[in-house]
Structure 1
């Protein structure tokens, strides 16, 4: 019974964290546009968060080793709370870029500590269930935080205070726990040669998805603002895309369990690119057309990265899932940081709908490269694959919690490497030479 209570307390802490994160991310984009921040500044705010998030994923494990999990989590939650309140007190673009980076750092650290506790209580039998519930709670809570902006609005102090309350309340479940300290946090590891040998298409998809998700997540609210939508309309528009994307992960992920996952990636990438082009060509104003296009975009775009992770795991050798997924996480984070800046510059030079030129270009890149790889490498038989797992925002601890990290990934036999350039084929000798280097 105590274990059950502890798990649900951690789920509550994660839900509060994600609620505040969803509200803050959407709020800063829209409020920044209302304050007449330049498009480049708005893009750099998104870049700042991604840079801070990656930095937190790398350095917070060192902090936890020095002061312990509970103290480190309390520090992260406190600084995150202070940060969103400083967003209210210092309303200027430079301050928000710096504060957003600090917010990303704290958010990564707090999430990793919660996930570390979940890793501690999960065993091989319950890990899959715990991971699925955790992912569902995160996606739902983040979406609820975005929807909350339709109630709080963007003016005044209320939305900032609501976000601060959510962040500081997230500290309660871990602060009140009487359980022993969890194991040390997982450090992400960089082994890009291994990732490329294992699945070149997964590496390319990780970067392209980072570019598109970073650009869309930061600047789609600005696009809605430029189209004349109010806070309620923007919140609903963004929530529809997020809900459709969460729903889409299940059927498309299960489909990828049955057929070549790259076929699904080709279809989703091409469809997401088509939706982006339709937004560019139609440039619809507020109305049902925009809401429909955003829903279709989320439906196609959001499942791409989780399917790419699953495809990489299909070809990973025994015990390599964490290394491969950690490498993808770094590449994905790099795209998240670059995407908002590139899209903001194009939006400023052309028009707000240029955001979807960026998403269309990189989604087409995923589809095109996946199609080419299908001609160079055979697929793993469906029976030999690890099942698809829905995924939300990731840290290195999320990778460790993923049940696929404990399972022996199917070793790709020689016939599955047919058509692959020799330099991309991993041999036992290659494997022994790969060194784990921290990012």
Structure 2
């Protein structure tokens, strides 16, 4: 059985991150490949005249696979371990993107997107649980922040790679496969021991709805919105007239907006009733897409700024709902609830691309802005309704920066955190008893 590698008492965030640089580097490469292929497929589908409806359904395949992978991967890990699971799924994701370039058919692409989503769900499980297992309680929050910064940088790098070659040919598909395969090397060669393969059972959807109706609805609805942004924003940018370089810049702006705005919005939610921050963010998220669409007829710089604001606001809502739900949970419930909330998000994300694709076929690029606005209006209205039905919680959990793409591993982070807090509490109680008896 592997011995858990935990940073020592004298560790800093920098030294702890340096020790797991292979994991961080591998995840950055993996997200670069994932970000590249998502935008690439949207652009190529538009070039091939798949149509908005077909493209949306095809892009939704990723989230269907992600949803399935969130459920099935922990079982696979328990059977064959983290290393073999990671190697198999990374190879599968690398193969899937190459098949896209060989068989340019909507039906084949939909199946391959499903395979890709399943693979990346498993890759996140392995890498993030491994990262969690390498962190002490004192450094876990700061290491998670480092991980999220690295993730955003990787995702942004993937968007920049769109400029390497034309989406009409094979080169970008090959590059994407190479990047994903390259991510295997540092992670498989790391000396860090494998983490415990056990995973907690999820809290049922019905039980979590009873505990926090707003939290569950919010995670589902933000899944729809984020699915639209992450899967179809490149198609939208192409249809408003941007070239490949403009699409790349637009996607980078969305990612940077998400990275920049999450922190101040999240910290504000720690200081006041979190629902007020959710309501304000949802209202602004409903207005921002309309401003984005109006900016599309202006300068490129104005359009990019509007994209950063639109993406930043929308991508900040999911972690707000996670934090709000945790405000109503007991510490032990957080372990089980995390995976259920991710599944709610994933279920919502399935409906995002398909719905907006249908609207864009009928109303043009305006359908993209209208769909995002409508989703956030619904979030704002339901939040306002719940504020009239329930008082704010007496205490609020600390906000934690959320991922740009939800990953099914929140349970791993929460599990280790609660276990260590429990161990610390037990140690403190034992110490108090010892002092009380004079030993």
TM bucket (normalised to shorter chain) is 0.7 to 0.9
Q: Which runs of 5+ in 1 are unaligned?
A: 410-439
Deviation at 1:185, TM superposition (A): 5.2
- Which residue, out of 41, 52, 62, partners 1:28? 41
1:58–1:187 contact (8 Å) kept in structure 2: no
Task: Report which stretch shifted further, 205-214 or 395-404.
Answer: 395-404
Task: Report the secondary structure of 2:177's partner residue.
Answer: helix
Deviation at 1:396, TM superposition (A): 2.9
Q: Which residue of 1 aligns with 2:233?
A: 220
How many residue pairs get aligned? The number is: 407
1:122-161 map, 5 Å = 122-161=135-174
2:258–2:312 contact (8 Å) kept in structure 1: yes
Q: Please, what TM-score do these two structures have when normalized by structure 1?
A: 0.87
- Does the C-alpha gap of structure 1 residues 2 and 319 become closer, same or farther in structure 2, counting only changes over 3 Å? closer
Instruction: Give the alignment's Cα RMSD to 1 decimal.
Output: 2.3
2:219–2:342 contact (8 Å) kept in structure 1: yes
Q: Please, what TM-score do these two structures have when normalized by structure 2?
A: 0.87
Q: Which runs of 5+ in 2 are unaligned?
A: 8-15, 422-439
Deviation at 1:388, TM superposition (A): 0.6
Task: Report the secondary structure of 1:385's partner residue.
Answer: coil
Question: Is 1:358 aligned with 2:371?
Answer: yes
Question: Is 1:88 aligned with 2:101?
Answer: yes
- Which residue, out of 401, 404, 415, partners 2:413? 401
- Which residue, out of 184, 190, 193, partners 2:197? 184
Listed one character per residue, the Cα deviations across residues 118-167 of structure 1 (whole Å, up to 9, x for unaligned) are 12222222221221111221122111111221333423222112211111
1:131–1:401 contact (8 Å) kept in structure 2: no
2:98–2:177 contact (8 Å) kept in structure 1: yes
1:87-126 map, 5 Å = 87-126=100-139
- Does the C-alpha gap of structure 1 residues 175 and 365 become closer, same or farther in structure 2, counting only changes over 3 Å? same
Q: Post-superposition, which runs of at least 4 consecutive aligned residues in structure 1 deviate over 6 A?
A: none
Question: Is 1:306 aligned with 2:319?
Answer: yes
Listed one character per residue, the Cα deviations across residues 46-94 of structure 1 (whole Å, up to 9, x for unaligned) are 2100011111111122222222221111111111111111111111211
Task: Report the secondary structure of 2:137's partner residue.
Answer: coil
1:227–1:285 contact (8 Å) kept in structure 2: no
Listed one character per residue, the Cα deviations across residues 150-188 of structure 1 (whole Å, up to 9, x for unaligned) are 333423222112211111111112322344332115366
Question: Is 1:166 aligned with 2:179?
Answer: yes
